[in-house]
Structure 1
C-alpha cells in the first residue's frame, strides 16, 4: 500500500490513516520463516508545518522454539513506530528518520524493519526451563533421565583418576 504524500504537503494539518494486513511468510530470519501468521499494521501519516511523520503499530505472532527444550513457541511481537519522513538523502545518519525516494511511502517499508528489530535472539517456554539432557536428549521438564548427573569431561579424566587414587590412599 503506497500513500501519496503530495496530499499532505499541500495542506498545513492533514493526516492519512492506514490499516493493512501483510504477508511475511517468505521472510527468512535466522534460517527459518517465523512469520507464518498475518502481520497487522495500522497508523497514520501526518503532515504539520512541513514535517511528515509516520506513527503506527505493527504486530504479529512470531513462531520460534524454546532455546533450551526446543518446544514450539508462539510469541506476540509488537512494535510501535514514530518516524519522521524526509526527502533529504544526507539525513540517513539520524535515528527515527526514514529517507523517502519519491512522493509516496509504503508504511511496510518503515514498520517491518521495526518489527524485526523486536525479535530476541532466544526465547524460553518458561523462565525455569530445564532444557534437554545433553547425553540422552530427554526433556528434563517432563522426565528425570538416568544419566549420570556429574559427567566428566574426557579431557580431565586423568585428573579424576588422580583424585580417585588419592581418596583410596586416605581411606
Structure 2
C-alpha cells in the first residue's frame, strides 16, 4: 500500500492512518521461507510542522525449528518504528531517518526491515533442550540412547591407541 505524501505535505498537523496485511511468504532468511503467517502492519504518517513522520508496528509469526533438536517452532515477532521521512537523497543514513525515492511511501518498506532485525540467529524449544544424539540421531529430550557418551574423534584414534599401549606396559 503506497501512501501519497503530496496531500500530507499541503496540510500542517495532518495524519493519515494505515492498516494492512502483507504477504512475506517469498521472503528468504537462512535458506528458508519463515514468514508463512500473515504479517500485520498498522500505524500512521503525520505532518508535524512540515516534518513527515511514520510511526507504526508490524507483527507476525516466525516459523523455524529448535537449533538443538529440530522441533518446529512458531515464534511471535513484533517490531515498532518511528521514522522521519526525508526526500533529500544526500541525507545521511540514521536510525530514525528514511530517505524517500518518490512522492509516496510504502509503510512495509520501513517496517519490514525493523521486523527482520528482531529475528535471532537461533531459537530453542526450551532453555534446557538436550538436542539430538550426534551418533544415532535420537531426540535426547524424549529418549536416552545407548551410544557411548564419550566418543573419540576418529582423527585421534591413533593417539588413543598409543595411550592404551603405554597403560599396558
Question: Which TM-score band (shorter chain)?
Answer: over 0.9
The residue matched to 2:162 in structure 1 has which SS?
Answer: helix
Q: Tell me how many residue pairs correspond in the alignment.
A: 169
1:75 matched residue in structure 2: 75
The residue matched to 2:14 in structure 1 has which SS?
Answer: strand
Trace 1:78-117 onto structure 2 (pairs within 5 A).
78-117=78-117
2:44 matched residue in structure 1: 44
* Larger displacement relative to structure 2 (141-150 or 10-19): 10-19
The residue matched to 1:167 in structure 2 has which SS?
Answer: helix
Alpha-carbon distance between aligned partners in 2 of 1:93 and 1:62, rounded to the nearest angstrom: 28
Q: Is the 8 A contact 1:92 1:98 kept in 2?
A: no
Task: Report the alpha carbon displacement of residue 94 of structure 1 after superposing the two structures with TM.
Answer: 2.1
Task: Report the alpha carbon displacement of residue 16 of structure 1 after superposing the two structures with TM.
Answer: 0.7
Task: Report the alpha carbon displacement of residue 154 of structure 1 after superposing the two structures with TM.
Answer: 1.4
Task: Report the alpha carbon displacement of residue 24 of structure 1 after superposing the two structures with TM.
Answer: 0.9
Which has more helix, going by share of residues? 1
The residue matched to 1:13 in structure 2 has which SS?
Answer: coil
Q: Structure 2 unaligned segments of length 5 or more: list them.
A: none
Q: Is the 8 A contact 1:44 1:56 kept in 2?
A: yes
Task: Report the alpha carbon displacement of residue 141 of structure 1 after superposing the two structures with TM.
Answer: 0.6
Trace 1:16-165 onto structure 2 (pairs within 5 A).
16-165=16-165
Matched, 1:7 2:3: no
Alpha-carbon distance between aligned partners in 1 of 2:94 and 2:27, rounded to the nearest angstrom: 26
TM-score (norm 1): 0.94
TM-score (norm 2): 0.95
Q: Is the 8 A contact 1:85 1:98 kept in 2?
A: yes
The residue matched to 1:150 in structure 2 has which SS?
Answer: coil
Alpha-carbon distance between aligned partners in 2 of 1:78 and 1:116, rounded to the nearest angstrom: 10
Task: Report the alpha carbon displacement of residue 10 of structure 1 after superposing the two structures with TM.
Answer: 1.4
The residue matched to 1:89 in structure 2 has which SS?
Answer: coil
Q: Is the 8 A contact 1:45 1:52 kept in 2?
A: yes
* Larger displacement relative to structure 2 (156-165 or 124-133): 156-165
